[in-house]
């Protein structure tokens, strides 16, 4: 199955999920600091129309401060009622906006992580498809795009998924199920308690106290992706997950 097809399905699935929540659930703080469940929905529609232009504008005007760009765009979109947000999420679900030179992998990884941001605080269970988890795992471990504040979080660590057999990196071992690994790799502390290995304390420390990233550091990340992007097969519109 193509990654873009998965992305379309995930957007429509998120719209269905949000439509089924009551006002209290929508106001629940998500795993993304400062954002409610409603805000997550708002964030997911911000790049569906004119997304490439917004990304380039953020790189130029905000020195690639994607956290600030996301906060501003999400705050504006969050003024809409949830039914309007979900209607747009469905209407523009086939959007082909991608992070420059990165393909659809980071876009799918983003919506999967925000799926957890919504469901876990609400206690809503889901068996995440393995092929989608594979995309997120490989993207975060190999060449995370500029929108991810990874820094050196995974440096010197070997990540091992005991349920799927995936592995990446070298050094102190961080071991657990793929779902918990992906959460911890992305900086969500909720995934750490289910992991073991001598690298877990270091990863926990890095998640709790990420180093500051100034303008130069952020722009270097953008330049790195431009000059050393993921392999062409991961950037193709025909890219598929093959766990």
The dihedral built from the CA positions of residue 176, 177, 178 and 179, taken in this order, carries a sign that is negative
CB atoms within 10 A of CB 83: 11
Indicate the Cα dihedral angle 45, 49, 55, 60, nearest 10°.
-130
Average pLDDT of the residues in 7-33: 98
Q: How far apart are CA 63 and CA 212, in angstroms?
A: 14
The tens digit of pLDDT for each residue in 150-194 reads 888 999 999 999 999 999 999 999 999 999 999 999 999 999 999
What's the whole-number mean pLDDT along residues 47-63? 86
pLDDT band at 148 (very low <50, low <70, confident <90, very high): confident
Please report which confidence band the pLDDT of residue 52 belongs to, taking 50, 70 and 90 as the band edges.
Answer: confident
Nearest residue to 145 via CA among 72, 69, 228, 75: 228
Asked if 169 and 144 touch (Cβ cutoff 8 Å), the reply is no
Contacts with 93 (C-beta within 8 Å, 6 or more apart), sequence order: 8, 11, 12, 15, 48
> Are the CB atoms for 199 and 157 separated by under 8 Å?
yes
The distance from CA 159 to its chain's CA centroid, rounded to whole angstroms, is 18
Residue 243: pLDDT band (50, 70, 90) is low
Sheet with 157-161, side-by-side order of all strands: 167-169, 157-161, 172-176
Per-residue b/e over 205-231, b at no fewer than 16 CB within 10 Å?
ebbeeeeebeeeebeebbeebeeebbe
Across residues 12-35, what is the average pLDDT?
A: 97
Secondary structure of 101-141 as H, E, C letters: CCECHHHHHHHHHHHHHHHHHHCCCCCCCHHHHHHHHHHHH
pLDDT above 80 for 147:
no
pLDDT score of 62: 87
Task: Read off the pLDDT band of 59 (50, 70, 90).
Answer: confident
Q: What pLDDT score does 118 carry?
A: 98
pLDDT tens digits along 98-126:
988 899 999 999 999 999 999 999 999 99
pLDDT the model gives residue 83:
98
Backbone dihedral angles phi then psi of residue 9, each to the nearest 5 degrees: -60, -45
Query: What are the backbone angles phi and psi of residue 103, rounded to the nearest 5°?
Result: 75, -165
pLDDT of 242 strictly over 80: no
Can you read off the two tokens belonging to residue 210? Answer: 């990420």
Residue 56: per-residue pLDDT = 85
């Amino acid at each position: 199955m193509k990654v873009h097809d998965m992305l379309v399905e995930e957007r429509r699935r998120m719209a269905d999920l949000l439509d089924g929540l009551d006002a209290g659930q929508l106001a629940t703080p998500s795993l993304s600091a400062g954002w409610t469940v409603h805000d997550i929905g708002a964030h997911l529609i911000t790049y569906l129309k004119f997304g490439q232009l917004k990304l380039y504008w953020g790189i130029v005007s905000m020195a690639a401060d994607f956290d600030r760009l996301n906060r501003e765009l999400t705050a504006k979109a969050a003024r809409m009622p949830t039914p309007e947000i979900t209607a747009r999420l469905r209407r523009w679900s086939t959007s082909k906006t991608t992070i420059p030179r990165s393909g659809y992998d980071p876009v799918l990884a983003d919506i999967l992580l925000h799926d957890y941001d919504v469901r876990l605080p609400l206690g809503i269970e889901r068996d995440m498809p393995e092929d989608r988890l594979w995309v997120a795992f490989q993207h975060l471990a190999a060449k995370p795009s500029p929108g991810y504040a990874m820094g050196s979080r995974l440096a010197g660590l070997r990540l091992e998924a005991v349920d799927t057999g995936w592995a990446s990196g070298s050094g102190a071992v961080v071991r657990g199920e793929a779902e918990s690994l992906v959460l911890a790799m992305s900086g969500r502390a909720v995934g750490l308690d289910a992991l073991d290995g001598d690298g877990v304390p270091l990863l926990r420390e890095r998640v709790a106290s990420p180093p500051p990233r100034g303008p130069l550091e952020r722009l270097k990340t953008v330049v790195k992706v431009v000059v050393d992007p993921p392999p062409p097969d991961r950037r193709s519109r025909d890219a598929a997950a093959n766990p």
